[in-house]
Amino acid sequence: MTLARLLHERGHEVRVFEKEKETGGLCRSRTGDGFTFDTGGSHVIFSRDEAVLSFMHRVLGENREVRGRQTKIFYKGRYVKYPFENGLSDLPKEDLFLCISEFVKALIAAEKGELPPPKNFREWMEQTFGKGIAESYLIPYNEKIWKIPPEEMSCHWVEGRIPRPPVEDVIRSAIGIETEGYTHQSVFSYPRLGGIEALVEAIAEPVREFITTDAPVTSVKRERGGFLVRAGGEEINADRVVSTLPLPALLPCLEDVPAGVREACRGLRSTALLAVCIGLRGQVPPYSWVYVPSPEIGLFNRVSFPSNYSPAVAPEGHASILAEITCMREDPLFSAPDGEIVSHVLGGLAKMGILDDPEKVVSTAVERSPFAYVVYDLGFLEKIAVVRGFCESRGIHLVGRFSQFEYLNMDGVIRSAMDFVERTR
């Protein structure tokens, strides 16, 4: 949507084809029983990129609530401040000792030059945070979200995304002096009305008439120096094609894809998402969201409280909870009956002390997103280079989370669109 808008503003003629009946992709929101939920999991607006952040704020205008992040990790029955390394004093004493001593050992080893470059994500976590923090929180949490062991994951993507904690902050947090980590997200915003989809709607507003929904792209062919695109029963000629659809959905639309490229694309891993939406009478804890590393509590890795982002997403006297479960698309869990998934989550929320009485629940829904998170396994860089190289050779540009096949948040996707437009004359 950003791409279409910016190209349109520069005088280009654009057409957008969306497979679903509604636009928005992972940033769709749905309202039912008076509750608005983000169907692709809980989304909030934040960025280190000033230009992108101000673009998002400008398009939303008055429709924006601002919140200070109140985020926790549910650990051994306690609500520990997030990020974990900034919440060490909330831990039981023995765990605190283990985390600090292992952090110091890792630091000394690094200073002495004893640490070889990490070969995988597990080694990176152990070397950066020490085995205490890694084994108590980071490893179980990451196993839960990515669905592959961290030793099978690459660590090329973590620098900058998971910040290295300054030693002073770790010591301060251990002795109970307040510190903040991940500060570019410590204040975030959210649409007052309409859920996160309101942001996409606001971006799309000037280009609505050029968008066709219920129109899956089925074929993209080179023709007379340009492209012939077939989508939803329509055929159009285009000078350029930018794909924002997932690579595994793009490749079948192309002709004569070499077997090696198809195989590389098949090997790109990603998870699907179940977003479990719960509306209830009464209150929820005052948190923005809570990470849940422990498998004993439930399959969900995160629980958020959308009614704490904006009072307008739940009816008066009510509140909302959104639990996120990742799984592989082919996992039977992805198509398990809604009732089973909801009761599993309600059981977990009871263990966390969030829901004391199931009678308070007035609305439930389960939303499924087939493409949710890119998983960076050890072969990722090789496989993606093959697929990108092929798309480039066909003159197709890639912009977007599953089109670039990168762990991009909304700001990263908008940045890619802005950069593309900047390069396009």
Ligand X SMILES: Cc1cc2nc3c(=O)[nH]c(=O)nc-3n(C[C@H](O)[C@H](O)[C@H](O)COP(=O)(O)OP(=O)(O)OC[C@H]3O[C@@H](n4cnc5c(N)ncnc54)[C@H](O)[C@@H]3O)c2cc1C
Burial of 77 (0-12, 13-18, 19+ CB in 10 A): exposed
Q: Which of 402, 405, 420, 421 binds ligand X (CB under 6 A)?
A: 402
- If one asks whether residue 424 binds ligand X (CB under 6 A), the answer comes out as no
The interface region with ligand X, picked from 83-91, 124-132, 169-177, 402-410 by CB under 6 A, is 402-410
Q: Which of 134, 220, 349, 410 binds ligand X (CB under 6 A)?
A: 410
CB of 364 to ligand X, least distance (A): 18
Q: Which residues of 176-215 are buried (b: 16+ CB within 10 A; e: fewer)?
A: eeebebbeebeebbbbbebbbbbbbbbbbeebeeebbeeb
Give the footprint of ligand X on residues 373-392 (CB under 6 A). Answer: 373
- If one asks whether residue 244 binds ligand X (CB under 6 A), the answer comes out as yes
CB of 419 to ligand X, least distance (A): 14
- CB closer to ligand X out of 169 and 367: 367
φ, ψ at 81 (rounded to 5°): -60, 145
Beta strand pairing call for 71-75 and 289-291: parallel
Q: Which of 339, 43, 48, 348 is nearest to 184 (CA)?
A: 48
**Rounded CA gap, 153 and 147, in Å?**
10
The interface region with ligand X, picked from 204-212, 338-346, 360-368, 398-406 by CB under 6 A, is 398-406
Q: Which of 239, 200, 240, 236 is nearest to 218 (CA)?
A: 236
Give the footprint of ligand X on residues 37-66 (CB under 6 A). Answer: 40-41, 43-44
- If one asks whether residue 26 binds ligand X (CB under 6 A), the answer comes out as yes
- Whole-angstrom CA distances from 58 to 42, 44, 399 are 21, 15, 22
- If one asks whether residue 19 binds ligand X (CB under 6 A), the answer comes out as yes
CB of 155 to ligand X, least distance (A): 21
**Rounded CA gap, 103 and 219, in Å?**
53
- If one asks whether residue 216 binds ligand X (CB under 6 A), the answer comes out as yes
The interface region with ligand X, picked from 115-123, 175-183, 241-249, 382-390 by CB under 6 A, is 241-249
**Rounded CA gap, 58 and 6, in Å?**
14
- Residue 356, Cβ neighbours under 10 Å: how many? 10
CB neighbours of 86 closer than 8 A, spacing ≥ 6?
165, 169, 173, 179, 180, 181
The interface region with ligand X, picked from 13-21, 75-83, 176-184, 277-285 by CB under 6 A, is 13-21
Q: Which of 100, 125, 268, 413 binds ligand X (CB under 6 A)?
A: 413
CB of 86 to ligand X, least distance (A): 19
- CB closer to ligand X out of 179 and 244: 244
**How many helices (H) and strands (E) are present in the chain, helices listed first?**
13, 18
Amino acid in position 3: L
The interface region with ligand X, picked from 17-25, 80-88, 91-99, 330-338 by CB under 6 A, is 17-25
Write the DSSP assignment of 203-247 as a string of letters: HHGGGGGGEE-S--EEEEEEETTEEEEEETTEEEEES-EEE-S-H
- CB closer to ligand X out of 103 and 405: 405
- CB closer to ligand X out of 122 and 401: 401
The interface region with ligand X, picked from 76-84, 151-159, 244-252, 258-266 by CB under 6 A, is 244-252
The DSSP bridge partners found for residue 352 are none
Size of the site for ligand X (CB under 6 A): 30
CB of 265 to ligand X, least distance (A): 14
**Rounded CA gap, 402 and 46, in Å?**
20
- CB closer to ligand X out of 103 and 146: 146
Q: Is 263 helix (H, G, I), strand (E, B) or coil?
A: helix
Give the footprint of ligand X on residues 254-283 (CB under 6 A). Answer: 273
Q: Which of 346, 408, 418, 421 binds ligand X (CB under 6 A)?
A: 408
**Rounded CA gap, 168 and 166, in Å?**
5
Give the footprint of ligand X on residues 306-325 (CB under 6 A). Answer: 324
Amino acid in position 143: E
Amino acid in position 69: R
- CB closer to ligand X out of 170 and 231: 231
CB of 71 to ligand X, least distance (A): 11
How long a stretch of residues is the chain? Answer: 425
- CB closer to ligand X out of 138 and 242: 242
**Rounded CA gap, 122 and 135, in Å?**
10
CB of 391 to ligand X, least distance (A): 15
- What is the number of the residue whose Cβ is closest to ligand X? 25
**Rounded CA gap, 376 and 268, in Å?**
8
Q: Would you tell me which residues interact with ligand X (CB under 6 A)?
A: 17-20, 25-27, 40-41, 43-44, 216-217, 244-246, 249, 273, 324, 371-373, 400-402, 408-411, 413
